[in-house]
Amino acid sequence: MLFADRLVVMRGGGDLATGVAHRLNRAGFPIVVLELGVPKTVRRSVAVSTAVTDGEVDVDGLVARRVDSAGAALRVASEGVVAVLVSEDVPDFEVDVDVLVDARMLKEGGVTSLQDAGLVIALGPGPTAGVDCHAVIETMRGHDLGRVLWEGEAAPNSGVPGRLGGQDELRVLRAETAGPVEWVVGIGDHVVREQVIGTVGDTPVRALTSGVVRGLIAPGFSAVPGLKLGDVDPRADRASCHRVSDKALAVGGGVLEAVLTYLNRTA
Residue 166's pLDDT is 57
HEC assignment per residue over 247-266 = HHHHHHHHHHHHHHHHHHHH
Residue 170's pLDDT is 85
Distance (Å, whole) CA 153 – CA 98: 22
List, in sequence order, every beta strand (DSSP E) within the chain.
8-11, 31-35, 56-59, 62-67, 82-86, 99-102, 119-123, 135-137, 148-149, 172-174, 179-183, 190-191, 196-200, 203-206, 211-216, 222-223, 228-233
Beta bridge partners of 152: 129
Distance (Å, whole) CA 178 – CA 181: 9
Under 8 Å between Cβ of 245 and 15: yes
Per-residue pLDDT tens over the stretch 209-265: 999 999 999 999 999 999 999 999 998 789 989 999 999 999 999 999 999 999 999
Distance (Å, whole) CA 76 – CA 92: 16
Characterize 121-145 residue by residue with b for buried, 16 or more Cβ atoms within 10 angstroms of its Cβ, and e for exposed.
bbbbbbbbbeebbbbbbbbbeeeeb
Please name which of 27, 25, 28 lies closest in space to residue 13, comparing C-alpha atoms: 25
Per-domain residue ranges of the chain: 8-157+246-266, 169-234
Q: Given a cut of 80, is residue 2 above it in pLDDT?
A: yes
Residue 45's pLDDT is 96
Q: Given a cut of 60, is residue 165 above it in pLDDT?
A: no
Per-residue pLDDT tens over the stretch 63-121: 999 999 999 999 999 999 999 999 999 999 999 999 999 999 999 999 999 999 999 99
* CB neighbour class for 158 (10 Å; exposed up to 12, middle 13-18, buried from 19): exposed
Name residues whose C-beta falls within 8 Å of residue 225's C-beta, 6 or more positions apart in sequence: 175, 176, 177, 178
The mean pLDDT of 118-141, rounded to a whole number, is 97
Assigned CATH topology for domain 169-234:
OB fold (Dihydrolipoamide Acetyltransferase, E2P) (2.40.50)
Q: Given a cut of 60, is residue 168 above it in pLDDT?
A: no
Distance (Å, whole) CA 195 – CA 134: 46
CA 75 to chain centre: 23
Q: Given a cut of 70, is residue 5 above it in pLDDT?
A: yes
Per-residue pLDDT tens over the stretch 174-219: 999 999 999 999 999 999 999 999 999 999 999 999 999 999 999 9
Under 8 Å between Cβ of 140 and 154: yes
Residue 171's pLDDT is 86
Under 8 Å between Cβ of 200 and 214: no
Per-residue pLDDT tens over the stretch 7-16: 999 999 999 9
**What does CATH list as the number for 8-157+246-266?**
3.40.50
Residue 263's CB: how many other CB atoms inside 10 A? 16
At 252, give phi and psi (nearest 5°). Answer: -60, -40
